[in-house]
Structure 1
């Protein structure tokens, strides 16, 4: 039996390697000068190792800094320079959007936060948007029916905005900030465990805000047959071209990522206000069972307060991105290594118009293979690149339809859970960083996040910019 099997948990066996062994192990070099230099490197490394001892355990520290080793190391970076653009000191963000004039907007899932949609007023602060009065007060976020908690049914005020997106001005509408309100705030139960009330009609909604006068000009709500009580709307994209729908007002595609319900797409005709579901519970939109990701080199499990059992991330369909031509929608669950797409033609037909539309959509789902990890949100640019936010890799990858491969755009140790992104008309890629794996809801009620959160940005190569042709 290996003697190490008898060691207590957390203990390790180590042996001192004689210097003569290391010298003899050097390659058979004919140059005395090379041999001498390598021997000196070994001696120097040993000196560093021996001199750097952990006073508490006496173990030898063999690596502290890249300067202490002759080995190749990973510095954690790749791609263009990453700039720190904005800092969040009050509330940790979820979504962001950047207007054509450089205005920065952010949204925040509600618990105790005082507002759920804001605009940056300087580099380190935001203010409620479009006004504090339109952000529903915390005391009114939820209610109870027969002891079952439900989110507010308020359709005129913002409850908990999960995602935002900006579309350019068109002949039919102004430059618009679209806010996706889940209607499901996070609350703390009597036993101290976090919970999310069910949605009720009126609360979940899509809100259109004119950036010309900062006012709401349209609100879309959903019937219970399309948005279920356990639904959770996560992200959205648009095709506002007049030829896209019979109404001539365009369409919104919304991802339902619920970790407790039925995943799939919600499609909204912005002119007729009709809405329907597509690919509900199709294998391509479902989570991987009991996925265990790794963040900052540590295996991750969800640990909730209140004596809840150890759990897993359960979100299904998460990131979505429409192609510049509007003919294909890319997507994936949060807990899947695969990238999928479906022709938008299979999403645009209302179910009452063709009894085969669901079968056709399911039959036309394409798999683009694995991307090298799990992805959170998506974004796209005018080149057709499909950006995927990779929280395990502290990176942003992109799928290039031109070569059918996934590539790394940028990687940086500061990218600790990129939660959402926006490509600006200025040619920059903006991303929200919110340290989500350290939030109290996933860590026994302990908040391990360190302020500030941040917006980082990097310049897109090849002149890539925001997709405006769908506006």
Structure 2
């Protein structure tokens, strides 16, 4: 009978074989300060990143890369929370997404260090890329932001009215969900709340860098690392939403028209969810104009792809891909990815920070551009 280490080694060899001929991993930028989580590439080629306030010294939580260096965006002042109004200023940003329509959307968790979200602070902020000015702020309604909520990633569909935002709740302690936010009315609803597809898989036991990934305290105590729905991606026609829990290896899909329809019950919605099988353990997801779904595989320092009607294949595997986090397809036919060594933080290593700077923004050539 094979032990865990033998199984892990075999899996790595299998992935390496599957990835033969995979794309080269290119380095785009290095970060020597706070740990980044998100990246997005606008249709103009401008690159934006974000740094959540998890415990590092974070002078700005959103930045634009200029000359390969991060610069506070849209400016330094807006990257400071307003003590008198949580809806103003940025508190702790988890994701940034360029919408292909000349705007950068900023997803503010309002939950520094994973604290309960500050009331009225969890929001989406739109910045006009032509003027670099904030043009919209949409605060999540209080009834969809639970004390355990951690809004993580977002995708947009502007074919529906004034736009729909689909947002994952990546709770560490409460129910996962897909939050469906109408950008026109500001109304939102939690869908698939606590469903198995948005929850951490109780049987999931990740192995990263050759050892089980557990929360490990300085006192020697351990606990599972359980994170709900995290990665999210939208099909090119807007009809299918793909998503996954961070603590799972499965990819799920659901029709967006059912998510948006208030007449569809949770039971009916749950019955429409498709389990697309195992893809590896992923943080971020992304799709391109051809309908290919991309996923990170943080257990194997890899990136994987699922073409329409195809099977999962490894498109890159490299030691530099140490915890591939957010993915973004650029207009240049490259898939961009943040590699941030998330699993080496102190809470996974007995209180010792094992991260080795710099963190990286990497890319691999895919040949297919943005939606």
**What is the TM-score when the length of structure 1 is the normalising length?**
0.72
Larger Rg: 1
- Secondary structure, aligned partner of 2:214: coil
Give the Cα separation in 2 of the matches to 1:280 and 1:433.
30
Q: Deviations over 1:242-299 (max 9, x none)?
A: xx2xxx2110000001011111110111111111111001111110226331112222
Match of 1:87 among 23, 30, 50: 30
Q: Are 1:225 and 2:143 matched, yes or no?
A: yes
Among candidates 244, 248, 261, match of residue 349 of structure 1: 261
Q: Which has the higher strand share?
A: 2
Question: Is 1:296 equivalent to 2:228 in the alignment?
Answer: no
SS of residue matched to 2:49: strand
Matched, 1:369 2:277: yes
Q: Distance in 1 between matches of 2:229 and 2:351?
A: 26
* Equivalent residues of 2:116, 2:147 under 8 A apart: yes
Shift of 1:101: 2.2
Do the aligned partners of residues 77 and 116 (structure 1) sit closer, same or farther apart at CA in structure 2, a change above 3 Å counting? farther
**RCO (CA 8 Å, sep 6+): is it higher in 1 or 2?**
2
Aligned counterpart for 2:289 among listed residues 374, 382, 394: 382
Aligned residues: 355
- Paired position in structure 2 for 1:281: 194
SS in 1 for 2:77: helix
Tell me how far 1:102 sits from its aligned partner.
1.8
Other structure's SS at 2:143 match: coil
Q: Report how far residue 115 of structure 1 moved.
A: 1.4
Question: How do 1:126-137 residues align onto structure 2 when only pairs under 5 Å count?
Answer: 126-136=70-80
How large is the RMSD of aligned CA atoms in angstroms? 2.1
Structure 2: gaps of 5 or more residues: 1-15
1:204-219 equivalences under 5 Å are 204-219=122-137
Structure 2 Cα separation of the partners of residues 224 and 308 of structure 1? 38
Is 1:424 equivalent to 2:367 in the alignment? no
Residue 116 of structure 1, aligned match among 37, 61, 80: 61
Shift of 1:444: 2.8
Q: TM-score, normalised by structure 2?
A: 0.91
Aligned to 2:298: 391
Task: Work out whether 1:181 is the aligned partner of 2:108.
Answer: yes
Rounded to whole Å, the distance in 1 between the matches of 2:105 and 2:217 is 32
CA contact (8 A) 1:317 1:333 kept: yes
Q: Say if 2:109 is the partner of 1:166.
A: no
Partner residue, 2:13: none
CA contact (8 A) 1:78 1:412 kept: no
Q: Report the CA distance between 1:443 and its aligned residue.
A: 2.1
Query: Could you list the per-position Cα deviations for residues 47-95 of structure 1 after superposition, in whole angstroms to 9, with x for gaps in the alignment?
Result: xxxxxxxxxxxxxxxxxxxxxxxxxxx6997511211111111221100
- The answer to whether the 8 A contact 1:153-1:200 is kept is no
Aligned in 2, Cα 1:417/1:251: closer, same or farther, shift over 3 Å? same
Partner of 1:236: 154
1:358 aligns with 2:266: yes
Aligned to 2:170: 257
Equivalent position of 2:370 in the other structure: 466
Return 5+ residue gaps in structure 1 as ranges: 1-73, 142-151, 170-174, 187-195
Question: How many angstroms does 1:407 deviate by?
Answer: 1.4
Cα distance in 1 for residues equivalent to 2:347 and 2:120:
26
Check conservation: 2:86, 2:118, Cα contact below 8 A: no
Q: Distance in 1 between the 2:85 and 2:147 partners?
A: 12
Residue 318 (1) aligns with residue 318 (2) = no
